[in-house]
Structure 1
Amino acid sequence: MIAWKRKEEWLELPLPNPDWKPLQPSAVEAMSALIPVPRKLFLRLASQGGIRVQGGKALLHLFPRESAAFAPEYCELDIAYEDDFCLVVNKPAGMSIHPAEAGQQGTLASAVAYYYASTGQACAIRHIHRLDQDTTGAVLYAKNEWAHVLLDEAMREKRIDRTYAALAQGVFRAKRGTIDAPIGRDRHHSGKRRVTPGGDAAVTHYRVKQQLKGAALVELELETGRTHQIRVHLSHLGHPLIGDTLYGGSAALLKRQALHGKQLRFPHPLTQEQIVVQASWPEDLQNLLSALQAK
């Protein structure tokens, strides 16, 4: 593993070779032998004096002080993972990732802004993926532009794995399977999606972990990240999520969809080590599962 050190706003690394200079034509390729390098960002940093050679080390200006751009709001956050490059927050139910309109309060973006400010971190808010307002679980943030570029690339290349737990209605005929059905907008409901031949490709893998009386505990993994994908696909299969009234679920036992992002696996943007983060279940889903198991 590469030996790196943070020095305030700078990242210190060993030189790729004794003659390395950040503005020479081979600089990107030489540095890429040590760490993942976003080429455009590297060249911009080099042209602006953001990469230096000092005392036999390379210094990269990766941690400039930035504005969060969201008004900080206090909220007790469940931090599942954190280092100099990444933050994973276990999002509670009822909280949007970011404001949908001007002046909206109570979003995760504002809560993360408060967390950064209260811990002395001058970071912009950069989420890598989203969860629905009433879905709980792990949300990944990049804490600087370098990490953001690399994690966005990893997401596009499907190198970030997201595992979900759900409580779905009914008795599943197959204990595992793949739902490969395109998803598009519902013409009759602006906030709803549906399976439609003209939609975007969407693939969900599922496994029934425990069949219960009239419901099932299901584990799901996404190949794609369409809006409401799990909710739409399970409803299409005939097993809407408990509480998901938008897609045919009953709210008798729960007033929100029973869906939780339980695990994230992603390559660390600097070391490329596989980081696996677990997000603990919220109390309402734990109580619902216990009640279903007791039937």
Structure 2
Amino acid sequence: MSNDSRTQSLVFGLPWPELNDGIFYNDVVPHSDSGLTLVEFYSRKYKHSAPLQGWLQRIQNGQISVDGRVVKDPNAILSGDSVLVYHRLPWKEPDVPHLLEVLYEDDDLIALNKPSGLQVLPGGLFQQRTVLTQLCWSVKKQNPPLKSQESHPVPVHRLGRGTSGILLCAKTKVAKTRLAAYFADGTSLVGANRKAELGGTRKISKIYRALVTGLLGEDKVVIDQPIGTVRYPGVAKGLYVASPSGKPALSKVEVLERDGKQNCTLVQVEIESGRPHQIRIHLSFIGHPLLGDPLYIAGGQPRCFDSEIVDESYAQDGGYHKPTNPVPGDCGYYLHAHRLVLSHPTTNEMIYITAPLPSVLRTSYEANSLPESMSVNSAK
């Protein structure tokens, strides 16, 4: 095992513009919807986006075109195969970090140290201020326009917006396919044998640091609670929670240090499956939610479960206001993707990547030692 010469201490990122460019949503009217009015089409198909009055406002603002022509009449009759375009107006996205640290890079992949607060892919309020945008901008800055249009690095897995640490991105189609298969294989193996031993012959292994509420009694805990979804306001596809009827998930938790004065425990978590919010759900399921988690409480359920109440008021662009209940993207908890071991997608050599620990997630010994530096090793 030796230090990898391909490792570079590099930080990149461009400041965010004040406003994003808005978003253009395209639809083709199916023949079954021929004869509907413009407002009927949008308020029925996208009722989760805005109430009826909100869609009326968007149409009257001139934000919707039909076959290339702006239409402000909400009662305009639609024909089958007509092309509709809705332009969501530009807005100022919430303030988030913009700098990214490169932990490892070669011709096939790049590993980044994602800061807490930065979203990985576009979604919700964050359409421009994402890791993906910074990757695109970085390629355009380094390469001629034609070359930068060919491809750019893309994340092959997600980290929650409030989670920091290692984010793996593919630079080629082959690497993307193989790395995605690594993650999928780990999850499917858990599904095939929920009690399987961790480690084994997996192609990729992820280890996290987390700070949880309360003092864990056991030094090591294996959690195999299934994870499913429930209806929840502000989360269109449903909220992930601990559910007996959910999909298999497996986490291995190891206590690193207990703090009796602060009533919290520093833990290391190795995950074998990749269910959304798995660590947050599993640790809360055993009665030790992440310290500062605004969403999940003991039992792996949401803090607020008022799923029947919908706020019918709408914002300037006609859409619903941000939900008052906590949602998965809210930050405040302490979770860090600390170490990653993988078989290189083209060379098959073992790559070891470490993201420096935030001070709050260091043990007393680590805090009193020299600051941990980034390290990447490889062994053939």
TM-score by length of 2: 0.52
> Residues of 2 paired with 1:243 and 1:99: CA distance?
24
Which residue number corresponds to residue 145 of structure 1?
173
Matched, 1:261 2:334: no
Instruction: Tell me the number of residue pairs that the alignment of Structure 1 and Structure 2 aligns.
Output: 214
Gaps of 5+ in 2: 1-96, 187-202, 304-330, 369-380
Which residue number corresponds to residue 39 of structure 1?
none
Which runs of structure 2 are paired with 1:1-295 in the superposition (5 Å)? 75-101=98-124, 104-120=127-143, 122=148, 123-158=151-186, 159-189=203-233, 190=235, 192-213=239-260, 214-248=263-297, 256-282=332-358, 285=360
**SS of match in other structure, 1:79:** strand
**SS of match in other structure, 2:140:** helix
> Residues of 2 paired with 1:183 and 1:256: CA distance?
22
> Residues of 1 paired with 2:168 and 2:337: CA distance?
11
Matching residue's letter, 2:250 = V
**SS of match in other structure, 1:78:** strand
Which residue number corresponds to residue 94 of structure 2?
none
Q: 1:186-216: CA deviations, max 9, x gaps?
A: 3345463221111011111110011112111
**SS of match in other structure, 1:157:** helix
Q: CA deviation at 1:76?
A: 2.4
Matching residue's letter, 2:280 = R
Return the index of the structure with the highest Cα Rg: 2
RMSD of aligned alpha carbons? 2.6
Q: CA deviation at 1:134?
A: 0.7
Q: CA deviation at 1:268?
A: 0.8
> Residues of 2 paired with 1:204 and 1:80: CA distance?
25
> Residues of 1 paired with 2:213 and 2:125: CA distance?
37
Gaps of 5+ in 1: 1-73
Matching residue's letter, 2:253 = Y
Compared CA separation, residues 281 and 266, structure 1 to 2 (3 A):
same
Q: 1:251-290: CA deviations, max 9, x gaps?
A: xxxx61110000111111111001110011235x359x77
Q: CA deviation at 1:136?
A: 0.4
Compared CA separation, residues 263 and 119, structure 1 to 2 (3 A):
farther
TM-score by length of 1: 0.66
Which residue number corresponds to residue 29 of structure 1?
none
> Residues of 1 paired with 2:99 and 2:169: CA distance?
17
> Residues of 2 paired with 1:286 and 1:220: CA distance?
12
Q: CA deviation at 1:111?
A: 1.2
> Residues of 1 paired with 2:286 and 2:232: CA distance?
21
> Residues of 2 paired with 1:129 and 1:98: CA distance?
10
Q: 1:156-213: CA deviations, max 9, x gaps?
A: 2222111100000101111101001101113345463221111011111110011112
Using CA pairs below 8 Å that are at least 6 residues apart, which structure has the higher relative contact order? 2
> Residues of 2 paired with 1:113 and 1:107: CA distance?
10
